[in-house]
Structure 1
Amino acid sequence: MAGSNFIDYVKFCSRSGAGGNGSVHFRREKHVPKGGPDGGDGGRGGHIILRGNAQLWTLLHLKYKKHVIADRGNNGEGGRRKGADGKDVILEVPIGTVAREAETGEIRCEITEDGQEFVLTPGGRGGQGNDHFKTSTNQAPHYAQPGGEGIEEWIILELKLLADVGLVGFPNAGKSTLLASVSAAKPEIADYAFTTLIPNLGVVDYRDGKSFVMADIPGIIEGAAEGKGLGLRFLRHIERNSILLFLVPADADHIGEQYAILLDEIKRYNPELLDKKRILAISKADLLDEELMEALKPEIPQDVPHLYFSSVTGFQLPALKDLIWRALQ
């Protein structure tokens, strides 16, 4: 998944089609000189519809669609013939896409299943023909209902990745290295901050053919909840993870303090995220011996399961998978 191809935010103008007008028409045949009104109804305007597609992983295909416009419905015709409905526009989106109104921020829908459909912007109703307006006192109405107007609105689509485990940590904590060592994912890895600029997903094989999905989220920095660094752009991706796996490197100045800062950023972004299960994994354990691990005990928070591991040597990686699997169950 190339960095330039991962798009998780798009904004566009959604305009549904207007409804067709009802028809003003009277039956006129050789042997029916004074036939009654038989104007048909107008067709409904086209909808703008979102549809979930499990084969999509990005909103890239919608990046340059600044205006999405549906067709208007056709007008009704004589003989009570209804006008054709306007053609709907179906936007296929990845699973985990959230649609919200750009002006108010109100969430309109969340696409969580393959094939799920939601009418984002409904088309205008079709107008009724004059056949609907005849009465005992007005048997030849010369008017029909005009079609309803379409709706024009600005919509924001945001993608929140669906994963079982979300990796949370500062830049250079070893998140990408862990994902690469336990899955077939190939994230960019280098010894400088913000190597990861896009979320990466990897399927982690477990025992007896079981597996779970792990997401490498770009590094959080202090102040991320206020938008510093890559903050708000990627914090939303952890909202859909079942478990938050906090990664703190063994060579950090104070492991407990780093964990507390990460936890505070998540709390400030969305306090409900604190209800998720959490695991503290201390990476780069190949830098430590048993004596150093014992000396670091006072720094480790006791209210969260923790484990030392090394992605480079494979130390405790099977135990880490076991810990994650038990939490998922």
Structure 2
Amino acid sequence: MASSNFIDYVKIFCRSGKGGAGSVHFRREKFVPKGGPDGGDGGRGGHIILRGDSNYWTLLHLKYTKHIHAPNGKPGGGHGSTGAEGEDIIMPVPLGTVAKDAETGKVLFEITEHGEEKPLMKGGRGGLGNTNFKTATNQAPHYAQPGEPSEEAWIILELKVLADVGLVGFPNAGKSTLLSVISAAKPEIGDYPFTTMTPNLGVVAYRDSKSFVVADIPGIIEGAAEGKGLGTRFLRHIERNSVLLFMVPADADDISKEYQILVNEIKKYNPELLDKNRVLAITKSDMIDDELEQLLLETIPKNVPYVFISSVVQKGLTELKDLLWKAIHDRTDI
């Protein structure tokens, strides 16, 4: 199954290369029996570097890589020769990858652009050879610097899906069905909770050959921020979305109440997410008639743009795309 290939969390042990030791060496030639110091510097140890690559969409290629060790730098040699540098290890990762210290949980950096490179572990600098320590009062130094030690740590890599719109709703709210209708994505669809176990991305065609990306996030339940249901495992994917599309079915007991529960879960997880533009879609509206739709207007939150939609009969989808496009590109007017 394709869904099993979506890996958005890996923990790996990384160790950069040690710097090579500087050389203690003296020039010795046939007619120069007591030449001065000519020990070369040691080479730098290899870095471990993350590089953003838009061709990757999952951390699957790192799932079974538990230890990454960069080569050490080579020691310096005589005649002023510098030791070779340890080869850098460059790890391609999908855009939206966050690197964290596994012990402290501190965020080290994020990779958000194709080709962006950031060092995860820096290799130790090579030690200076004894040539560097020659002075007027010490013409023949018999010492050199050792190379700097390597860096090592357990690192967590987390993927936050990059998309323009994130679908937010309870399980079985119609998120996957909507994505399958408005894009070419083919998420698993079923009439039971938690059909979607991994985020799905779809490119939605808009007017004049424009498009935007929608992410179907696994369903949220009340208490998700405390770890209930699928917990916070997928809430982080919402952080990278420009707009949040809240989806509540028309047959819900109280549309406003369900919407507020979703908002509260996001607020508990990260209050800053509520600064994003929001749109509300009342789904499965093919199940109600016009009269009932008018009655439901009284239960809809007043502070969010909304539209009644039905993915089955494709009702309101054009209006929904218009609202989403406006929310993405016109931050001030919605």
Taking structure 1 as the reference length, what is the TM-score of the superposition? Answer: 0.99
Q: Work out whether 1:210 is the aligned partner of 2:210.
A: yes
Name the structure 2 match of 1:252: 252
Name the structure 2 match of 1:99: 99
Structure 1 distance, partners of 2:282, 2:231, is: 22
Name the structure 1 match of 2:50: 50
SS of match in other structure, 1:71: coil
Residue-by-residue CA offset, 1:127-163 (whole Å, 9 max, x unaligned): 0000011111111011110011101101000000100
Structure 2 distance, partners of 1:119, 1:34, is: 44
Structure 1 distance, partners of 2:287, 2:28, is: 94
Taking structure 2 as the reference length, what is the TM-score of the superposition? Answer: 0.98
Structure 1 distance, partners of 2:268, 2:102, is: 23
Residue-by-residue CA offset, 1:42-96 (whole Å, 9 max, x unaligned): 0001111000000000000001111000000000000110000001111100001
Structure 1 distance, partners of 2:297, 2:30, is: 100
Structure 2 distance, partners of 1:230, 1:327, is: 28
Name the structure 2 match of 1:197: 197
Deviation, 1:220, is: 0.2
Structure 2 distance, partners of 1:314, 1:22, is: 72
Name the structure 2 match of 1:114: 114
Q: Which amino acid aligns with 1:239?
A: E
Runs of 4+ in 1 over 2 A off after TM superposition: none
Q: Work out whether 1:149 is the aligned partner of 2:149.
A: yes
Structure 2 distance, partners of 1:107, 1:292, is: 49
Aligned residues between the structures: 329
Structure 1 distance, partners of 2:187, 2:324, is: 21
Name the structure 1 match of 2:279: 279
Residue-by-residue CA offset, 1:230-282 (whole Å, 9 max, x unaligned): 12100000001000000000011111000000000000000000000000100
Q: Work out whether 1:30 is the aligned partner of 2:35.
A: no
Structure 1 distance, partners of 2:16, 2:321, is: 49
Structure 2 distance, partners of 1:207, 1:120, is: 42
Deviation, 1:312, is: 0.2
How do residues 260-271 of structure 1 correspond to structure 2 at under 5 angstroms? Answer: 260-271=260-271
Name the structure 2 match of 1:63: 63
Residue-by-residue CA offset, 1:84-136 (whole Å, 9 max, x unaligned): 00011111000010001011111111101001000110011100000011111
Structure 1 distance, partners of 2:261, 2:2, is: 30
Deviation, 1:7, is: 0.2
Name the structure 2 match of 1:181: 181
Q: Which amino acid aligns with 1:176?
A: S
SS of match in other structure, 1:298: helix
Structure 1 distance, partners of 2:266, 2:91, is: 32
What is the percentage of aligned positions where both structures have the same residue? Answer: 69
Name the structure 1 match of 2:332: none
Name the structure 1 match of 2:307: 307
Structure 2 distance, partners of 1:322, 1:233, is: 31
Name the structure 2 match of 1:164: 164
SS of match in other structure, 2:23: coil
SS of match in other structure, 2:234: helix
Structure 1 distance, partners of 2:189, 2:92, is: 32
Structure 1 distance, partners of 2:119, 2:31, is: 47
Structure 2 distance, partners of 1:231, 1:278, is: 22
Structure 1 distance, partners of 2:227, 2:80, is: 59
Q: Which amino acid aligns with 1:64?
A: Y
Deviation, 1:191, is: 0.4
Which shows bigger deviation, 175-184 or 131-140?
A: 131-140
Deviation, 1:2, is: 1.0
Name the structure 1 match of 2:9: 9
Structure 1 distance, partners of 2:179, 2:62, is: 28
CA RMSD of aligned residues (A): 0.7
Structure 2 distance, partners of 1:196, 1:328, is: 25
Which shows bigger deviation, 294-303 or 262-271?
A: 294-303
Structure 1 distance, partners of 2:287, 2:14, is: 55
Q: Work out whether 1:126 is the aligned partner of 2:126.
A: yes
Structure 2 distance, partners of 1:130, 1:124, is: 19
Name the structure 1 match of 2:41: 41
Q: Which amino acid aligns with 1:69?
A: H
